[in-house]
């Protein structure tokens, strides 16, 4: 799953000379929490709603005209301050052909909730947020297609995942997704998570007993999530 499949290609951006007030209005109008800052079309920074809240009292950027009248001088002052004085200049970016997992890892590492997507020429082609990551991971999990989730601890050798997957199929199940993880590169076992559909409730106990003959079953749960 690639970044380009889940990013928003319609990027709302602003020039570095945009005022704080205009920036706040831009966020409210477009219902966004961040936007890239440009200088002559080149990416030079990023501004978030947190940056704006830190720079200006909430009553000034709340878009309440009555409140603005209470602080006209402060409002006029902030209207003259540009976003370039408060933007983050060390912008974390990612390329559209990188994976969703790489985007998630960068967000986790740098404690950010979104970042611009740039091409090989450093031109902005999109923006990806944590919400986009969530959508991708939910889609990857197959939770909307499969209501039964199995957790296994399996030996780290060829064929073991196929063995448990085939057992699920023998009971009428259809494999929706398979995830596998090891605690280290040399681990002797791994955790494997299989989501399946088309398994009637009355057959689950028999299936579990058959699986326990071949593997360590950590859990087997039924869950339904509406789209």
* Tokens standing for residue 99: 């994976």
List the structure tokens of 86: 């408060």
CATH 3.10.580.10 for domain 3-138, yes or no, is: yes
Question: Could you state, in order of their start, the residue ranges of all structural domains in the chain?
Answer: 3-138, 143-222
Residue given tokens 């947020």 in the structure block: 129
161 touches 213 (CB < 8 A):
no
CA atoms within 13 A on the CB side of 106: 20
What digits encode the pLDDT tens for the residues 31-67?
Answer: 988 999 999 889 999 998 888 877 665 544 554 555 5
Residue 33 sits at φ, ψ, to 5 deg, of -110, -5
Residues in the chain: 227
CA atoms within 13 A on the CB side of 57: 13
Model pLDDT for residues 187-225, shown as the tens digit of each residue = 688 899 999 999 998 999 999 999 999 999 999 999 988
CATH code of the domain made up of 143-222: 3.30.70.260
pLDDT of residue 37: 94
Specify burial of residue 151 (Cβ count, 10 A radius: 0-12, 13-18, 19+).
middle
> Is the model more confident about 77 or about 45?
45
Does the fold of domain 143-222 match that of domain 3-138?
no
pTM over 0.85: no
Rounded Cα gap, residues 167 and 144, in angstroms: 22
Q: Report the relative pairing of strands 34-39 and 14-15 from DSSP bridges.
A: parallel
């Amino acid at each position: 799953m690639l970044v380009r499949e889940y990013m928003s290609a319609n990027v709302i951006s602003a020039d570095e000379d945009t005022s704080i007030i205009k920036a706040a209005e831009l966020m409210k109008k477009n219902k966004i929490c961040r936007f890239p800052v440009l200088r002559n079309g080149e990416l030079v920074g990023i501004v978030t709603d947190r940056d704006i809240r830190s720079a200006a009292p909430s009553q000034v950027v709340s878009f309440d005209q009555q409140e603005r009248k209470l602080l006209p001088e402060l409002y006029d002052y902030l209207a003259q301050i540009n976003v370039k004085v408060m933007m983050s200049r060390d912008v974390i970016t990612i390329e559209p052909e990188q994976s969703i997992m790489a985007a998630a890892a960068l967000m986790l590492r740098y404690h950010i909730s979104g970042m611009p997507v740039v091409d090989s020429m450093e031109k902005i082609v999109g923006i990806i947020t944590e919400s986009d990551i969530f959508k991708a991971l939910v889609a990857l999990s197959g939770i909307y297609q499969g209501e039964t989730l199995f957790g296994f601890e399996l030996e780290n050798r060829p064929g073991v995942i196929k063995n448990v997957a085939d057992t699920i199929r023998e009971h009428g199940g259809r494999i929706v997704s398979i995830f596998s993880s090891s605690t280290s590169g040399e681990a002797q076992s791994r955790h494997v998570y299989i989501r399946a559909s088309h398994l009637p409730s009355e057959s689950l106990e028999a299936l579990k007993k058959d699986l326990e003959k071949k593997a360590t079953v950590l859990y087997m749960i039924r869950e339904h999530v509406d789209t």
